[in-house]
């Protein structure tokens, strides 16, 4: 441990003094030294550029091969980046420093499993025992290894250990069903499937596996009912739709889990899905990579990997993951749409539109693709085209319900921005008819009506209701204040705008609005102070020019109808 302590403390000290530019661009660091490589790797990790981080830590480890901190971090990063071969090379060194290291034991155990050296694989898996996640991983891996040995008693004994922890019972029951099914124990398998379904009947994997079992065991009607009931409340489920279509066409399904190696892949996929939340997403990435390592043709795992990268803002890596989905997979369309979304996140607007258009060229009835294209067009301020794309999506909806309320809202925004008010108002009202308590829609419609001097009492009621629904939304509170301002009620406007500035002190337009209200209320020194805040908060160039003019000249004696500097109601979009 002396080696790690020797470098860890000074390197951490250096990291605290690192220039801000290095945090934004770790490759700008001088990585020719040990400390430079370490710092570059550390900041690349912070930015979640795992490929670059792995490269830098590997370089640092070459300079100091006995450093336990570097060895462990290089191993984990290689793993996370999908470089399983490099991780396998590093794993023995990690175990020399930490004999119970979960990922090192898991990887080396899988290596032995693939070589059919099951006893050695079990030695690794049984050594994983420190945390609840270790317990889950260890027992599932042990169970599937005994399955490979065709030892159902030992496999079930390992799974029974999971029953001691309440939130692990779903893993016990689901994998118990898969193992019993594979080992030709249909009665036990069905009992486990029923338990898994009772606990996780909303799980796509549970439905696929259970339905597959029912079909292969002469219970096609039960399988058909299972699939149809699931699809009745979930439109976007291509995998379940596919198995139902195959059933109706009389195609006999292959076994869902054909061998123990695939069972290990399913284990990794199950754990990755369970860990896929904000707190444990880095661990989810590792398990997703393992699932794909064990089963190369695994579109569901590729989708999960893409989702993880997307959630961590690694849009380039998400595109790479989604791009691995083959064109003959029913998940291809979803993957292509996600590629378009990630291209859009990378500000590659033209490419994103080309990609989503290619999806629609293949399937003109893709509801999700039309919505995605419409969102891209609205974001690009092509409002007429955006409204047309939303209309294509709505044309695919037989009977709109509250789930489609936001779609009418978005089309209404596109119409309003295009200057087609009659259609915009109709869409906003349709959205509210489907779902009345939408603060954003109430705010947008109410403010627009006040601006146009249409049904003022109704419009004010809408904005007040929006504020009641979202009292801490600075944009909506500002709209109420600005509405009072519009009506010449400056004292009332000031009260609400002061609250809006408390909620959104960084917003230049809200600060600007408060300055205007102060000026009209006769509080001119406060008005100039507020306009200075607005100017310092980096408004858009057009708004900045108007703010600077007000700082020099104040407001004219006659209140103009506010237009360019009004709060954008679309900012309240979630």
Tell me the per-residue pLDDT of 24-34, one tens digit each, with 9 for 90 and over.
444 444 445 55
Is 108 in contact with 92 (CB distance < 8 Å)?
yes
The arithmetic mean of pLDDT across residues 474-493, rounded, is 94
Give the helix ranges, DSSP H, for 323-420: 332-345, 349-362, 367-379, 383-395, 405-417
pLDDT number for residue 573: 42
Encode pLDDT of 258-272 as tens digits: 999 999 999 999 999
Distance CA 241, CA 504 (A): 46
Distance CA 507, CA 501 (A): 8
Is 175 in contact with 270 (CB distance < 8 Å)?
yes
Encode pLDDT of 360-413 as tens digits: 999 999 999 999 999 999 999 999 999 999 999 999 999 999 999 999 999 999
Backbone angles phi, psi at 438, to 5 degrees: -100, 105
Encode pLDDT of 75-109 as tens digits: 877 877 788 888 888 898 888 888 888 889 999 99
Nearest to 333 by CA among 295, 372, 283: 372
Q: Provide the percentage of residues in the chain whose pLDDT is more than 90.
A: 73
The CATH code that applies to domain 1-98 is 1.25.40.10
In this structure, which topology does domain 439-572 adopt according to CATH?
Answer: 1.25.40
Residue 544 DSSP one-character state = H
Distance CA 251, CA 440 (A): 48
Average pLDDT, the chain: 87
pLDDT band at 249 (very low <50, low <70, confident <90, very high): very high
Do 302-425 and 439-572 come out as alike in CATH topology? yes
The arithmetic mean of pLDDT across residues 271-298, rounded, is 92
Domains of the chain, residue spans: 1-98, 302-425, 439-572
pLDDT number for residue 89: 85
Half-sphere exposure of 564 (CA within 13 A, CB side): 9
Q: Domain 302-425 sits in which CATH superfamily?
A: Tetratricopeptide repeat domain (1.25.40.10)
């Amino acid at each position: 441990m002396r080696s790690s302590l020797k470098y860890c403390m000074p390197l951490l000290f250096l990291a605290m003094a690192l220039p801000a530019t290095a945090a934004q661009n770790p490759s700008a660091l001088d990585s020719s030294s040990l400390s430079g490589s370490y710092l570059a790797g550390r900041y690349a990790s912070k930015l979640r550029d795992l490929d670059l981080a792995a490269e830098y830590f590997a370089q640092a480890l070459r300079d100091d091969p006995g450093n336990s901190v570097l060895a462990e971090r290089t191993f984990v990063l290689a793993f996370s980046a999908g470089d399983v071969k490099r991780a396998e090379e590093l794993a023995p060194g990690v175990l020399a420093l930490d004999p119970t290291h979960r990922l090192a034991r898991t990887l080396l155990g899988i290596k032995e499993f693939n070589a059919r050296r099951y006893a050695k694989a079990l030695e690794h898996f049984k050594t994983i025992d420190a945390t609840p996640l270790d317990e889950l991983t260890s027992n599932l891996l042990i169970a599937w290894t005994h399955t490979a040995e065709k030892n159902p008693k030992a496999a079930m004994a390992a799974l029974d250990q999971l029953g001691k922890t309440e939130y692990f019972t779903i893993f016990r029951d689901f994998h118990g069903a898969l193992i019993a099914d594979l080992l030709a124990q249909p009665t036990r398998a069905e009992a486990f499937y029923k338990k898994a379904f009772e606990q996780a009947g909303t799980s796509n994997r549970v439905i696929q596996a259970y339905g597959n079992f029912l079909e292969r065991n002469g219970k096609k009607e039960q399988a058909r009912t299972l699939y149809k009931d699931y699809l009745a409340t979930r439109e976007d489920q291509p995998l379940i739709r596919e198995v139902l279509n195959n059933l109706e066409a009389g195609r006999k399904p292959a076994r869902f889990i054909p061998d123990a190696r695939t069972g290990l892949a399913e284990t990794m996929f199950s754990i990755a899905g369970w860990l896929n939340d904000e707190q444990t997403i880095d661990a989810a990435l590792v398990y997703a990579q393992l699932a794909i390592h064990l089963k190369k043709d695994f579109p569901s795992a590729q989708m999960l990997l893409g989702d993880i990268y997307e959630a961590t803002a690694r849009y380039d890596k998400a595109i790479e993951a989604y791009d691995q989905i083959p064109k003959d997979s029913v998940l291809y369309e979803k993957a292509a749409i996600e590629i378009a979304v990630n291209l859009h996140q990378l500000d590659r607007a033209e490419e994103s539109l080309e990609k989503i258009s290619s999806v629609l060229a293949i399937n003109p009835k893709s509801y999700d693709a039309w919505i995605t294209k419409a969102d891209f067009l609205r974001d690009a301020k092509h409002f007429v085209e955006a409204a047309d794309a939303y209309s294509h999506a709505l044309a695919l909806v037989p009977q709109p319900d509250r789930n489609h309320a936001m779609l009418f809202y978005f089309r209404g925004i596109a119409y309003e921005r295009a200057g087609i008010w009659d259609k915009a108002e109709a869409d906003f009202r349709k959205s509210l008819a489907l779902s009345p308590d939408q603060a954003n829609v109430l705010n947008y419609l109410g403010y627009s009506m006040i601006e146009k001097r249409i049904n003022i009492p109704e419009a004010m009621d809408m904005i007040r209701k929006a504020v009641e629904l979202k009292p801490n939304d600075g944009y909506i509170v500002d709209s109420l204040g600005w509405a009072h301002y519009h009506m010449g009620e400056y004292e009332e406007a000031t009260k609400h705008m002061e609250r809006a500035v408390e909620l959104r002190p960084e917003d230049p337009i809200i600060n600007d609005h408060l300055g205007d209200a102060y000026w009209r209320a006769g509080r001119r020194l406060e008005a100039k102070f507020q306009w200075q805040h607005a100017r310092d908060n980096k408004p858009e160039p057009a708004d900045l020019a108007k703010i600077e003019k007000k700082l020099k000249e104040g407001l004219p004696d006659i209140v103009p109808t506010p237009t360019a500097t009004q709060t954008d109601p679309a900012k309240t979009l979630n």
